[in-house]
Amino acid sequence: MRFRSSVTKALAALVVFIPVLAAMSGASPTPKAAPHARRAGGHCTPVGGTIMTNLGAIDQNTTMGTATGDLRGAVGAKILNSDGVNFLIEHHWVTEAGDTIFFNPVTEVATPLNPTNLQIFGLTLPHPIEVTGGTGRFDGATGSIGAFGTLDFGHGETVFRYSGQVCFQEQNER
Q: Do 146 and 163 form a contact (C-beta atoms < 8 A)?
A: yes
Q: What distance separates the 2 farthest-apart alpha carbons in the chain?
A: 76
d(CA 55, CA 110): 15
Domain layout of the chain by residue ranges: 37-172
Residue 89 pairs in a beta bridge with 79, 106
CATH C-level class of 37-172: mainly beta
pLDDT for 171 equals: 61
Average pLDDT, stretch 109-125?
A: 72
AA identity, residue 35: P
Three-state SS at 51: strand
pLDDT for 170 equals: 74
pLDDT for 127 equals: 66
Distance of CA 124 to the CA centre of its chain: 15
Pick the range with the lowest mean pLDDT from 15-19, 36-40, 155-159: 15-19
